[in-house]
Amino acid sequence: MKQKTVRFVEWALWLSVVVVATVVMRSSRGQIEQAHAAFVYILIVLGATAGGERWLGIVVALLGFLSINYFFQPPFDTLTVSAPLDLLALVAFLATALVANHLLTRARIEADRAKRHAEEIEHLSAEIRHAEALREANRMKDILLASVSHDLRTPLTTIRALAQDIQTDGSSARMHAGVIVEQADRLGKMVADVLDLSRLRAGAFTMNPEVNTAEDLLGAAVRQFSGVPDANRIETVIDYTKPALLGTFDFVQSLRVLTNLIENALRHSPRGTAVTVSVAETGSNLSFQVADKGPGVSLSEQQQIFEPFYRPSSAAADAGAAGLGLSIAKRLAESQGGSVAYADRPGGGSVFTFEVPAAAQELVETLT
């Protein structure tokens, strides 16, 4: 509909240009030669072809042909051609106009085609990029599945073998039961981690950030380790001379972040060395730090440690975890506006820093 209107306007415009030019030139017919008129019509043909379309150019060319003959070639106001040279001029005009029309049209078609091609290429490359993203996601899923099935099989195999041994030799039951419980717990933690990771990736985690005290979180994290043999290695640093620090975070998910960081520190540092958990306010953030006296993380591995299933080269093959703790911690922190970062500890070891937004200090002052 709109296309049609545009075409109508084009036709009306260029046909009236022909009429106006003819009228103007006609009024001063005495002073101009037919060649001048031909030039003007050629220009109009070019304009009509460029601005409008092929047929408009052809029609304008024919009109020009007729009006040169009729108005500007003696004898005036008749279609009779008296001199053979005039006929040649007329044919030359028509030929020039039509060739120009043809060339211009072809150029425009070529340009249109090029533009369409460019659009098509753009469209195709977008599709390719999309396909590549899907392939990458699929590849990640394959890696994930391979790692998961490998990691899940180890405890499963152990549990199955021990249970079967109990089946044939009941006397070993008590001896094996402890290992079965331990391996079942390990399995349970892995399944929970994998589920969490996929929920995080799918964005299916609901965060519920509220104002909480830093000490409450830290205390709850330490308590998660009560009964664990390594628990006495955890030491806490809090400045009790200052009012309680407040932050805005999801308590349950932040507890997982901090617990994962502590667990990681205990796992990757020598027995008997302390894992120091501290909290301080840094600028507009609440900053929890977990520092250990382990080997630290080499520069080349500092990004990779936050990738799912990554195990540092220095770690034992069976470190007792699927290598998901840090990646889950990082994602859980980021999905509530916080962060988890690694830094070398001066004097050796690692420092993992978990930051969440601090809560307004006025809140503290009105309360304490």
Partner 1 sequence: MAAEAPPYTLLIIEDEIEITRAVGAALREQHPAIVEASGGRTGLDAIKTSRPDIIILDLGLPDLDGLEVCQRIRALTDAPIVVLTARHGEADTVALLNAGADDYITKPFSTQELAARVAAQLRRAATPRHAPISINADGLSIDIRLRQVKRGPMLIRLTPIEWDILGVLVSDPGRVFTHQQLFTAVWKRAFGDARLYLRVHVTNLRRKIERDPADPRLIITAPGVGYRFIAES
Question: Which residues lie below 8 Å from residue 270, measured CB to CB, with a gap of 6+?
Answer: 293, 294
Tell me if 179 contacts partner 1 by CB under 8 A: no
Segment contacting partner 1 (CB under 8 A): 86-94, 101-109, 286-294, 359-367?
359-367
Alpha helices in 234-306 (DSSP H): 251-267
Tell me if 273 contacts partner 1 by CB under 8 A: no
Tell me if 222 contacts partner 1 by CB under 8 A: yes
Tell me if 213 contacts partner 1 by CB under 8 A: yes
C-beta closer to partner 1: residue 11 or 205: 205
Kindly identify the residues of this chain, within the stretch 291-330, that bind partner 1 according to CB under 8 A: none
* 41 vs 35: CA distance, rounded Å: 10
Tell me the two tokens of residue 38. 């031909």
Tell me if 192 contacts partner 1 by CB under 8 A: yes
| H-helix or E-strand spanning residue 290 | strand 285-291
* 150 vs 358: CA distance, rounded Å: 41
C-beta closer to partner 1: residue 224 or 304: 224
Tell me if 336 contacts partner 1 by CB under 8 A: no
Tell me if 173 contacts partner 1 by CB under 8 A: no
Tell me the two tokens of residue 104. 């211009």
Tell me if 239 contacts partner 1 by CB under 8 A: no
Tell me if 228 contacts partner 1 by CB under 8 A: no
Tell me if 212 contacts partner 1 by CB under 8 A: yes
Segment contacting partner 1 (CB under 8 A): 154-162, 213-221, 314-322, 335-343?
213-221
* 283 vs 352: CA distance, rounded Å: 18
Q: Contact at 8 Å (CB) between 94 and 61? A: yes
The single-letter code of the amino acid at 52 is: G
Segment contacting partner 1 (CB under 8 A): 65-73, 121-129, 133-141, 209-217?
209-217
Q: How far is the CB of 235 from partner 1 (least distance, A)?
A: 9
Q: Figure out which of the listed residues 244, 280, 341, 343 binds partner 1, where binding follows CB under 8 A.
A: 244
C-beta closer to partner 1: residue 247 or 338: 247
Q: Figure out which of the listed residues 220, 315, 341, 343 binds partner 1, where binding follows CB under 8 A.
A: 220
Q: How far is the CB of 292 from partner 1 (least distance, A)?
A: 17
Which stretches of 150-237 are assigned E, i.e. beta strand? 210-213, 234-237
Q: Contact at 8 Å (CB) between 251 and 212? A: yes
Alpha helices in the chain (DSSP H): 2-27, 34-51, 54-67, 84-168, 173-201, 214-223, 251-267, 325-334, 361-367
Q: Figure out which of the listed residues 238, 315, 341, 343 binds partner 1, where binding follows CB under 8 A.
A: 238
Q: Contact at 8 Å (CB) between 345 and 197? A: no
Q: For residue 173, which phi and psi values (nearest 5 degrees)? A: -55, -55
Tell me if 241 contacts partner 1 by CB under 8 A: no
Q: How far is the CB of 222 from partner 1 (least distance, A)?
A: 5
Q: Figure out which of the listed residues 10, 86, 215, 230 binds partner 1, where binding follows CB under 8 A.
A: 215
Distances (CA, A) of 261 to 14, 223, 276: 77, 14, 11
Q: How far is the CB of 138 from partner 1 (least distance, A)?
A: 27
C-beta closer to partner 1: residue 42 or 364: 364
Q: Prior bond to 270 cis, omega within 30? A: no
The single-letter code of the amino acid at 139 is: R
Q: Contact at 8 Å (CB) between 150 and 142? A: no
Q: Which residues bind partner 1 (CB under 8 A)?
A: 181, 184-185, 188, 192, 210-213, 215-216, 218-220, 222-223, 236, 238, 240, 244, 246, 251-252, 255, 277, 363-364, 367-368
